[in-house]
Amino acid sequence: TVLLVDDEEEVRRPAKAMLERLGFRVLAAADGQQAMALFEANRSAIRCAVLDLTMPVMDGVEALRALRESDPSVRVIISSGYGEQDVTARFVVDRPSAFIQKPYSLQALGETLRSLLAPPRAPETDRDTRSG
């Protein structure tokens, strides 16, 4: 399950369809306050959240802070039309787990989610391939 948060219906609707096409169940919210209510009610099912940066009521910075106060391990992708450097500069204390720039494609969203949700790889070890 992915928590999708964006105040613009014309962004939220196609993003929800993309997430569903990638195989996720989607809980959608129009602002950070709605997102927090959904998160609290579905915490154990949510694998990560995709948050818009600029929203009324509770923006992405505030929503990220609230999500992390509730669950410090929650993975959060920040989505914005602004560039990554401009966006990450706004996050002083709590940093997002990943960033995706709008408009994003199904491929970009899938790659971001795969990299974020993939289990950590064991470190590669040097194998001695010499025989005997």
49-69 pLDDT per residue, tens: 999 999 998 999 999 999 999
What pLDDT is stored for residue 26 in this prediction?
A: 98
What pLDDT is stored for residue 132 in this prediction?
A: 47
What pLDDT is stored for residue 123 in this prediction?
A: 62
Alpha helix (H) ranges present in the chain? 9-21, 32-42, 60-70, 84-88, 106-117
Q: CA-to-CA distance for 11 and 29, rounded, in angstroms?
A: 12
What pLDDT is stored for residue 122 in this prediction?
A: 63
In Å, what is the CA distance from 59 to each residue of 83, 90, 93?
Answer: 17, 11, 15
pLDDT tens-place string over residues 2-44:
999 999 999 999 999 999 999 999 999 999 999 999 999 999 9
Cβ distance 71 to 45 under 8 Å? Answer: no
Token pair for 71: 């669950």
pLDDT tens-place string over residues 86-131:
888 888 778 999 999 999 999 999 999 999 998 766 666 555 444 4
In Å, what is the CA distance from 118 to each residue of 18, 49, 110?
Answer: 19, 15, 11
- Segment holding 72, helix H or strand E: none
CA 58 to chain centre: 16
Binned at pLDDT 50, 70 and 90, residue 48 comes out as very high
Amino acid at position 56, single letter: P
